[in-house]
Structure 1
């Protein structure tokens, strides 16, 4: 009996060691996958603050909370099951689906550029003055944009762990989804509350705290204005990059090769990355402008009939 008990304990210990090793492997793989998707994560962080621009201070965190929940829903309940099923049975469909999402980002970025050029920035009137429906619309828009960015993040992560068994792949992607969402929207929450932090520090008796508070109070509006512009640029870059890569994978190599040659002309490294980013953004803007033009022409033709 005692021998049987010790044998059972040995088996339990072996299983525990195996489970611990599996957890370590999943954690390491999730870390690699998250690092691979870091570029899109930065873009996601830049895009989101514009959706709470013009919101009263008491509504900023509740809106970010709603967007965070929507982002988790996007990743875990929509993207993850679809991506896993497609990668298992119809992997060739992933690229066209991503390209559709990338095209939507290009369209949204081009639309924002068009409105700003015409002096019709949606943020001219604070959301607080437009009521709960405007807030709901802003949150919905943020979650729609997050769906596209999250899709690329999850597909990049999926490609990084494609050789893992199905269950390990599933667990790794769940870890990636939760970690990236918390990181992105945690940073966004801090960014939009920097002015409140600055005000609290400015009211302290410490001179050092007051100086830091003053810097935050002066700098936060400029940072948010910069992120508003950077968010639009990120939409165009990420959208253009998705479509360019997709066209290349589908056999239409010319646009991607053109960008690649430009990148090689200035050598690789930071300069090459900047050229690639700028070229992808220009391509995204042109594609978005074409889509915007088509969508504006179609309603006019219908009204003419």
Structure 2
């Protein structure tokens, strides 16, 4: 999935390069920035399908379209101007803001894991209680998805911005627009395909050709498992991306540097004996270390938030 999105970025960058020679820097910068943000892209792709669960099949694609349009507005109307202002006036804030976003991703993932373990469905129950009819439920789902997308899009744009060094403000702006549009198209194109796989399977199962029928029935049976797997992948991605951002931020700010250095060293030592799989093993160990850090930070935040929710008077008295 990430490789497909990065390939999409490369294609868009190539078109931009043909449009004007001044976009040569943009082409390389957009591809590099998009590749760096691939971890958050996985999370974005994995998280979104759950927002159409429980809604009418004919409303699935229109809802995905609304969320995609909200994502474009998030990136271009809010996050792009903020990113350019940071670049021009306060580049030193990029790393701390990235770390705040990483901590939020770790918190979200840890809370999801805790809710799963405790069979706590308060969020879903509250949503169903608030919505009086299917139309209202759809509006609430779209609103919630766009809000989540804002956080993930902020991470994508911030990560991309961190990779666009030594470029003019105009070139940075064009590169960020390319990254924003290409990733949005890639993510929601994949999401649209995922949520319609069961319908595709039903149509195929109704055909006369036996091979087509078999593939259709297989699709119908595999979609629930795929959605469950995507949910797990999304949670894992939140942890490793969030934890990885925090580790990178600690290195950049020279805070607790032994922690990220130790994880890098362990990854290199273990990967050293992996032969041709060295790069993959090193990435996996690094991602695992990031996930553990994310789980620790996220767990601490969850504990504080749940304590304050149970005892709101502490917000006043403290």
Alpha-carbon distance in 2 for matches of 1:296, 1:239: 20
Q: Is the 8 A contact 1:64 1:185 kept in 2?
A: yes
Any unmatched runs of 5+ in structure 2?
A: 1-16, 272-277
Is 1:269 the counterpart of 2:279? The answer is yes
Q: 1:28: Cα distance to partner?
A: 4.5
Q: 1:200: Cα distance to partner?
A: 0.8
Q: Secondary structure in 2 aligned to 1:242?
A: helix
Q: 1:24: Cα distance to partner?
A: 5.4
Q: Which deviations, in whole Å up to 9, do the C-alpha atoms of 1:118-170 show, x marking residues without a partner?
A: 11246977x88954444434333322332232223223322333222221221
Alpha-carbon distance in 2 for matches of 1:74, 1:256: 32
Q: Is the 8 A contact 2:41 2:156 kept in 1?
A: yes
The alignment yields a C-alpha RMSD, in angstroms, of 2.6
TM-score normalised by L of structure 1: 0.85
267-276 or 46-55, larger mean C-alpha shift: 46-55
2:184 aligns to what?
A: 181
Alpha-carbon distance in 2 for matches of 1:134, 1:19: 44
2:260 aligns to what?
A: 256
Q: 1:216: Cα distance to partner?
A: 0.6
Alpha-carbon distance in 2 for matches of 1:103, 1:67: 24
Q: 1:40: Cα distance to partner?
A: 2.5
1:167 aligns to what?
A: 170
TM-score normalised by L of structure 2: 0.82
Any unmatched runs of 5+ in structure 1?
A: 1-16
Alignment coverage as a number of residue pairs:
289
1:21 aligns to what?
A: 21
Is 1:294 the counterpart of 2:287? The answer is no
Alpha-carbon distance in 2 for matches of 1:114, 1:197: 34
